[in-house]
Structure 1
Amino acid sequence: MANKRSKVQRRIVSKDGHNNVRIDNVESMVQLYLHDIWTTVVDMKWRYKLTLFASTFVMTWFIFGVFYFFIGMGNGDFDALPNSNHTPCVVQVETLTGAFLFSLETQTTIGYGFRHISEECPLAIFTLVAQLVITGLAEIFVTGAFLAKLARPKKRAETIKFSYNAVICRRQSKLCLMVRVANMRRSLLIQCQLTGKLFQSNTTEEGEKTQIHQRSVDFYMDSSGECPFLILPLSFYHILDENSPLAGLTAENLHTRDFELLVTLNATMESTAATCQSRTSYVPQEILWGYEFRPVLFSTASGRYVPDFNFFDKVQVSNDPSFLSNNKEKMKIEENYKRE
């Protein structure tokens, strides 16, 4: 039953941190995206960004090539006799293809010297200057969007790993909900802060029902509020006391509760000083009552500490007497976990 229910469990945030909320029926959505064109371009998928990059160059080459072609046509360059004293606006441009090639050479500063603008045509000179200014700005914009997407902390956040399950056990004589977090790269993360949001339906005192109500869930490292140094896999704790949004949670009602726990890690990258954010979420079927994480850190003969990530998501039954006293509940929890 738990497996069947977990398949249809609605989530606001997926396990890998992606937003599952779909925005629909928004008026002037295209206009809103165009108003913030920079964010729109940066958030584009790579296939669209590459298409935009290529089309920006090709279209500007072609558009200004058409301008040069019509300037030459208006100046009578294509009707002049070979032996006449007529000075063309763009020398050696007699077709639209030639005008396109001249535009390409101008914008890319290739400068073969075969085609060039004469001094007798101010309109062509103005068009040349306008092309260099406009296309220069366009290249800066597109190139900047490429660099911004490559340097986004989002990719760094993908190397932060959360435990697949959260566990509930006792820590320092207090009932705690625990999640494990690890940094998968050698570059350090500093000023780490783990925060949580509990999403569940709620009914106010006035009788107003809200489908999604958010409440803050505080996490600590060793029950302290200091920023941890995320160089090794760490376990963060939330104390399940009377002040907790999860107050009243028991082994009996855990899988009957309807909520989603969003866990967010904010950290600063030591190498670039940029901040990154990584997220995951837990539904009741992914929270194990009466379990604790297995040790993941080992030492070698050479004096090194080695986190073995084969044990990162492994859990074991808690040895706390308060959990072991109820053998029936313990066996039920263990059977449910093995079945999952």
Structure 2
Amino acid sequence: MFRFMQKRIHDHLAERRIRRNRLVAKDGRCNIEFGNIEYHNHFAFLKDFWTTFVEIRWRFVIFLFVASFTGSWFVFGLLWYWIAKSNGDLMGQSPTKGHTPCITNVNGLTTAFLYSLETQTTIGYGGRAVTGHCAGAVALIVIQSLIGAIINCFMCGIILAKISLPKKRAKTITFSETAVICQKKGNLCLQIRVANMRKTLLIGSQIYGKLLRTTVTPEGETIIMDQVNIDFVVDAGKDNLFFICPLTLCHIIDKASPFFEMAVDTLHQQEFELVVFLDGTAESTSSSCQVRTSFIPQEIQWGYSFLPIISRTKGGKYKVDFYNFSKTVPVATPHCALCIHNESHHHLDPHPHPNQEKRGIDNDGFEVIDIDESADNTMM
């Protein structure tokens, strides 16, 4: 039991360390922090207030929703209370019998707040109303009605925009938990599986990748996040995919690929992050969305292939079994891409001698001697 708990804690800490070191999480969120931003640049978020409010978390949207309405009701309630007090309508002011109030049945702070709420929400219970005796009351009811309409439109727009965000559509696009490297059609390929959980299509889907790694230039400059393009294709091409069923993305490991120099025994020793992007337009909403995920060397299986998940039922329908979506099976695979390109010894001696040939190496100390064939025949 103790060993089991220790293993679980070790795996949890390892997973947290991997998640912290990623630039892009498995769900597509970017792990990046901006520092040393000048103070006045913070106001740029307020200038673009609409995007700021749409991107904030739901808890803050709900707080803003409640605070904006209750705050406006209370502020205008104080104004209605002030108008009633200025006109001598309050109960403590003992209005005369023939006194004409600005607002009927508003004789205290509570009733003023209730009248503000009824005015802005257009409830109109009929117990309180403007009499038209005070010009300030008429102007205030117009102002509150306009501000209330603006708050309604703004809050409804934020909620509708957050509900219809394209990234919500991206939640129904899923990638395989791991990537695999195997041989396909005579080439060594890195494969990733992606599936659309909805029956509606993503129109104009495009798939591409970026390999992020730390490199050192010949001048000695260290580039922390060097980006290398990774091209992915499927059997039908790389653009305008018919994305109705799960697809297997394939990156051919050729001489132009950054995976060309890697081998089965050196892959997990590398430090890189493979970020995969899927861009498309939702068929139902016509909104563009992007799905992204990442793979680190420990999440790439060399010598494995994905299990088939598409079958056909007796009724003629195509069935997708998501139970095997990320399941893999070992297959015969070369231990490096150089083997397929007839350069199996290239990685043993990357800098051969100029006089070295494929058939051997000349030995300057070797002496050629003549053999007496007649002597050999005598011995035989």
What is the TM-score normalised by the length of structure 1? 0.88
Tell whether the 8 Å contact from 1:80 to 1:86 is kept in structure 2 after alignment. Answer: no
Tell whether the 8 Å contact from 2:188 to 2:252 is kept in structure 1 after alignment. Answer: yes
Distance 1:23 1:105 in 2: 46
Farther off after superposition, 22-31 or 171-180: 22-31
Instruction: Write out per-residue CA displacement over residues 293-331 of structure 1, whole angstroms, 9 at most, x where no aligned residue.
Output: 1111111111111111111111112245778xx9xxxxx
The aligned counterpart of 1:86 is 99
Residues 200 and 6 of structure 1: is their aligned pair in 2 closer, same or farther, counting only changes over 3 Å? farther
Match of 2:85 among 62, 66, 73: 73
The aligned counterpart of 1:13 is 24
Q: Compare CA radii of gyration and give the structure with the larger one.
A: 2
Say how many residue pairs are matched.
Answer: 322
CA drift of 1:35 comes to 2.1
Residues 113 and 20 of structure 1: is their aligned pair in 2 closer, same or farther, counting only changes over 3 Å? same
Match of 1:39 among 10, 28, 51: 51
SS at match of 2:100: coil
CA drift of 1:76 comes to 2.5
Instruction: Write out per-residue CA displacement over residues 104-136 of structure 1, whole angstroms, 9 at most, x where no aligned residue.
Output: 110111112221112221111111111111121
Residues 118 and 311 of structure 1: is their aligned pair in 2 closer, same or farther, counting only changes over 3 Å? same
Q: Which amino acid aligns with 1:298?
A: S
The aligned counterpart of 1:153 is 166
Instruction: Write out per-residue CA displacement over residues 34-91 of structure 1, whole angstroms, 9 at most, x where no aligned residue.
Output: 2222122212222221121112111111100101111121222226644443322212
The aligned counterpart of 1:62 is 74
Tell whether the 8 Å contact from 1:223 to 1:237 is kept in structure 2 after alignment. Answer: no
Aligned-pair RMSD on alpha carbons? 2.2
Distance 1:233 1:239 in 2: 19
% identical equivalent positions: 43
The aligned counterpart of 2:314 is 301
Instruction: Write out per-residue CA displacement over residues 261-303 of structure 1, whole angstroms, 9 at most, x where no aligned residue.
Output: 0111112211111122211100000011111111111111111
Distance 1:127 1:116 in 2: 13
Tell whether the 8 Å contact from 1:6 to 1:285 is kept in structure 2 after alignment. Answer: no
Task: Please list every run of 5 or more consecutive structure 2 residues that lacks an aligned counterpart in the other structure.
Answer: 1-10, 340-380
Instruction: Write out per-residue CA displacement over residues 1-42 of structure 1, whole angstroms, 9 at most, x where no aligned residue.
Output: xx8977633101111212222334434375333222212221
Instruction: Write out per-residue CA displacement over residues 164-212 of structure 1, whole angstroms, 9 at most, x where no aligned residue.
Output: 1111112221221110000112222222111111111122233211211
Q: Which amino acid aligns with 1:93?
A: V
Q: Which amino acid aligns with 2:327?
A: K
SS at match of 1:90: coil
Distance 2:28 2:60 in 1: 23
Distance 1:127 1:317 in 2: 76
Distance 2:93 2:22 in 1: 72
SS at match of 2:132: coil
SS at match of 2:78: helix
What is the TM-score normalised by the length of structure 2? 0.79
**Structure 2 matches for 1:1-340, cutoff 5 A?**
8-9=17-18, 10-28=21-39, 31-78=43-90, 81-222=94-235, 224-320=237-333
Tell whether the 8 Å contact from 2:172 to 2:196 is kept in structure 1 after alignment. Answer: yes
Residues 168 and 272 of structure 1: is their aligned pair in 2 closer, same or farther, counting only changes over 3 Å? same
Distance 1:310 1:69 in 2: 66
Distance 2:68 2:100 in 1: 32
Distance 1:27 1:75 in 2: 51
Tell whether the 8 Å contact from 1:216 to 1:245 is kept in structure 2 after alignment. Answer: no
Residues 6 and 146 of structure 1: is their aligned pair in 2 closer, same or farther, counting only changes over 3 Å? closer
Farther off after superposition, 81-90 or 273-282: 81-90
Tell whether the 8 Å contact from 2:264 to 2:335 is kept in structure 1 after alignment. Answer: no
Distance 1:208 1:180 in 2: 36
